[in-house]
Amino acid sequence: MIDSFNHLPRAAAAAGAQLEAQFTDLAPPLTARQATIEAARCLYCYDAPCTRICPTGIDVASFIRNIHEHNINGAAHGILKQNILGGSCARVCPTEILCEDACVRNHDAEGQPVKIGLLQRHALDSASFIQHPFERAAPTGKHIAVVGAGPAGLACAHRLAMLGNDVVIFETREKSGGLNEYGIAKYKLTGDFAQQEVDFLLSIGGIDVRHGRTLGVNLSLQELHTQYDAVFLGLGLNASRRLGLTGEDAPGLLAAVDYISALRQSSDLAALPVPKRAIVIGAGNTAIDMAVQIKRLGAEQVTLVYRRGFESMSATSHEQAIAKANFVRMRTWAAPLEVLLDDAGSVRAMRFEKTRLEQTGRNGGSLVGTGVFIDIAADAVFKAIGQSLDGSSLADPMAMQLGRAGDKIHVDAQFRTALAGIYAGGDCVAPGQDLTVQAVQHGKLAAHAIHNDIHTKAGAAWPT
């Protein structure tokens, strides 16, 4: 899909080494001494609020105490017991609105919370296990299919294998990891960390991964339901939403996730097409990731545009600060109206209409156009307006019977779908926060539900 940028110039070949330097760790790791000093700041609270707010329930105070006592393997084991993808979550989890926001030291007198995310990374990066830290239970003779090798699918497969089940993961792409491999900013998950984490997870044994298998293309839910004792759907959200504007398919307009994927898989950053002027439409972390990365690749002017105000952006204040530190222009209260093309039919600019909130009563207001228009010149426009479930994945007759909540799959508290023996979790289910850490938790909890159901002859669908 990045072929639509072929008319754009490449990043300067001479700048190759400089480009690589732009994608080193956003937050450098703590040294052993820094980690010990930071761990000493923790009060090891009883009923710690940082643990209560963690989606995966990591015992934060316990692992930090282990770091302080130089028991790094103990700290790492405690983290991985709750979150097998704790290494990537330590790097990408929005700790500023979760554990660190809840930290009792997060007040004016202290100045800042304990650096929980960096301490978690230190524990997992510094651990040295002779073998996989968890042993498999006795074989159960049960076989479970997992569709999708993203965080939810991987976490589900690992916990099922740990409980003694055999698991087969079916994955569309040539690499496992899902969002961690293809969709996270390169400066957050550097090098081949995502694949190292996948390899570590799979080393527990009992998990077979089959790539190039896509539900609705060369894999059917009916076949999986027949051949396996249970099926877990960790499909993610793979379809980019459309703006619904004329010219949306013109050269120079692309979904941000497609460019981020190409960037993460590129062996030569200097060969990537880079516009001089870019517009990113969106308000989430993906929009920030896209804007910052294209700026670091050499774009001279990058403008992030959002139809509401800063306070309504789903990107955290921390992410917004990263964009500003990288000289990304941020324009709010402007809605995309028209793609403007040059004589060759490629993107040359985008027209926006200024917006405002029109009060409609005590419950707030509705967004309306003001009739004032803005043209922003750009060689490329990136859409970061959200992802949706790819309808083709659920196109077979059996899959169409799954209960849906909007464009997501509806599940009960045990992650059971409307079809007996079929479960789902991660970004593809409702409700969901589209966070890696939450996807891991979904997969882990679904694994326990599947294990219990298939060994108690339960697993009946919930009433629709």
**The token pair that represents 439 in the structure block:** 């996807």
SS3 446: helix
Q: Give, for 86, the enclosing helix (H) or strand (E).
A: helix 86-92
Q: Which fold has domain 32-126?
A: Fumarate Reductase Iron-sulfur Protein; Chain B, domain 2 (1.10.1060)
CA distance 461 to 12: 57
Q: Which fold has domain 240-386?
A: FAD/NAD(P)-binding domain (3.50.50)
Fill in the amino acid letter for 110: E
Work out whether strand 404-405 and strand 408-410 pair parallel, antiparallel, or are unpaired.
Answer: antiparallel
Where in the sequence of the chain do the CATH 3.50.50.60 domains occur? 143-238+389-455, 240-386
Q: Report the candidate in 442, 449, 455 with the shortest Cα–Cα distance to residue 155.
A: 442
Fill in the amino acid letter for 425: G
Q: Report the candidate in 292, 280, 178, 170 with the shortest Cα–Cα distance to residue 228.
A: 170
Please report how the helices 116-126 and 60-68 are oriented relative to each other, as an axis angle in degrees rounded to 10: 60
CA distance 268 to 375: 34
Q: What are the C-alpha distances in Å from 118 to residues 79, 205, 450? A: 13, 29, 33
Q: What would the 3-class secondary structure string for 159-180 be?
A: HHHHCCCEEEEEECCCCCCCHH
Quick check: pTM over 0.75?
A: yes
Q: Report the candidate in 277, 271, 337 with the shortest Cα–Cα distance to residue 16.
A: 271
Strand ranges (DSSP E) for 138-266? 143-147, 166-171, 207-211, 230-233, 239-240, 253-255
Confidence (pLDDT) at 158: 98
Confidence (pLDDT) at 1: 64
Confidence (pLDDT) at 462: 45
Confidence (pLDDT) at 391: 75
**Selecting from 3.40.50.10420, 3.50.50.60, 1.10.3720.10, 3.30.70.890, what CATH number does the domain 143-238+389-455 have?**
3.50.50.60
Confidence (pLDDT) at 364: 66
Q: Report the candidate in 79, 98, 76, 93 with the shortest Cα–Cα distance to residue 27.
A: 93
Per-residue pLDDT 10s for the chain (464 aa) are 688 898 898 887 546 568 888 899 988 899 999 999 999 999 999 999 999 999 999 999 999 999 999 999 999 999 999 999 999 999 999 999 999 999 999 987 877 999 999 999 999 999 999 999 999 999 999 999 999 999 999 999 999 999 999 999 999 999 999 999 999 999 999 999 999 999 999 999 999 999 999 998 899 999 999 999 999 999 988 888 889 888 888 999 999 999 999 999 999 999 999 999 999 999 999 999 999 999 999 999 999 999 999 999 999 999 999 999 999 999 999 999 999 999 999 999 999 999 999 877 666 678 999 999 999 999 999 999 988 888 777 777 888 888 887 778 999 999 999 999 999 999 999 766 678 999 999 999 999 999 999 988 754 444 43
Confidence (pLDDT) at 77: 98
Where in the sequence of the chain do the CATH 1.10.1060.10 domains occur? 32-126
Sheet-wide strand order for 301-305: 253-255, 380-384, 277-282, 301-305, 329-331
Phi, psi of 233 (to 5 degrees): -100, 110
Q: Report the candidate in 143, 212, 204, 207 with the shortest Cα–Cα distance to residue 175.
A: 212
Confidence (pLDDT) at 162: 98
